Amino acid sequence: MRILHIISTLNPESGGPTESVRILLSFGPIGYTGEVVTLDSPDAPYLKDLKYPVHALGPQTSTYGYNAKLVPWLRANRDRFDGIVVNGLWQYCGLSAWRAIRGHKPYVVFTHGMLDPYFKHAFPIKHLKKWFYWLPAEYWVLRGAYRVLFTCQAEKELAEKSFWLHRWRPHVVPYGAQSPLGDPEGMKEAFFTKCPAVRGKRYLLYLGRIHRKKGCDLLIDAFVKFAAKDPDLSLVMAGPDQQGWADELKRPLIAAGLTDRVLWPGLIRGDDKWGAFYGCEAFILPSHQENFGIAVAEALACGKPALLADKVNIAPEIQSDGAGYMESDTLAGTEALLQRWLETTPEKRAAMSKQALVSFKTRYDMRENAKTIIRLFEQFSKENPEEKTLQGAR
């Protein structure tokens, strides 16, 4: 099975969709042979040393990602693939697939949480602008897809609340992360080399973009209030600062004299990232919107409990499994997460760590995601043995 992924960028700083594509394309041994077409510049450093073909047609000239090369490239290459996965919404990638692929090959759209009504309420002006793109373009991209993919039932149901005009063929797929490969102690050492100030300290880990959607301000403010209750506990805020927000977030830490207890290692990947997970006591994410959260699954893969806001769509599952705690995406809720962790006995923490690994293996192993996508395209072939016209495009 040969599958093409279309995504605007493979830059790791872009967050979850990029990481999911990178993970999915690593599963060649189960019959998933893939390629990627992106709007990145061919000489982008993060494209080096990838173990799968990447066709970089960029650089992008705008945030929308229009590129005159994309539709001709798709038309010239579509017959080499059994199916196409469009990753994300609101960019030219989706419209290009609709123009070049429909009627010839099946394509699915992975929304990656981009239809969550959170954005409708948080950014009403931006949402109004999206209507002007939804009506002539994005709606038809989704309607023409063989399936529109969601990572959980909650995301599927929320997506229907963003636009009153919606019609597509939804499919919920297992989602998650890839298990870390290597020696945990060696990985921890790699992280401590990257962030030496945290060596020998107990710490909670936040790993993700330093972004307002993620509730980073809630975490900092809650830690300032909580710090005196557990003087030996530190906080690691790992991730790229795309909004230039970190300096503002550090001000309450400076005022409270806590700068030495909150570490900012920036973007971490590979062994550095896994070492950060293995070295922490627990992972924490007070996000205001998270359709899934790959970093959550990665924490569980390392046997680490997850302390989550209720707006992380998989938080109820994790709390039900006994692999973490869930509270509201408010300052009071974030303080409650820290307090609950403080009050958790060593015995219960050990039990939660064991359950975290069980939850990962049963719910969030990305290998199952790859298998599901393969089955979808196999199903299309069975439904359309001789028909070249997509049912969804009629």
Long-range contacts, stretch 150-156, CB < 8 angstroms, 24+ apart: 150/111, 150/291, 151/113, 151/175, 151/291, 151/292, 151/313, 151/314, 152/291, 152/292, 152/313, 152/314, 152/317, 154/313, 155/111, 155/113, 155/116, 155/291, 155/292, 155/313
List per-block mean pLDDT (blocks of 10 residues) for the chain, which spans 394 residues.
90 78 69 86 90 88 85 96 92 94 92 84 86 92 94 86 89 81 94 95 96 95 96 96 92 96 94 97 95 88 96 92 97 97 97 96 79 83 63 42
Q: Which CATH superfamily is domain 184-363 in?
A: Glycogen Phosphorylase B; (3.40.50.2000)
Instruction: Report the pLDDT value the prediction gives residue 113, as an integer from 0 to 100.
Output: 81
Instruction: Report the pLDDT value the prediction gives residue 352, as an integer from 0 to 100.
Output: 98
Instruction: Report the pLDDT value the prediction gives residue 32, as an integer from 0 to 100.
Output: 67
Establish whether domains 2-176+366-393 and 184-363 are of one fold. Answer: yes
Class of domain 2-176+366-393: alpha beta
Instruction: Report the pLDDT value the prediction gives residue 49, as an integer from 0 to 100.
Output: 82
Domain boundaries, the chain: 2-176+366-393, 184-363
Q: pTM for the complete prediction? A: 0.76
Instruction: Report the pLDDT value the prediction gives residue 31, as an integer from 0 to 100.
Output: 62
Residue written as tokens 């409990």? 305
Instruction: Report the pLDDT value the prediction gives residue 24, as an integer from 0 to 100.
Output: 75
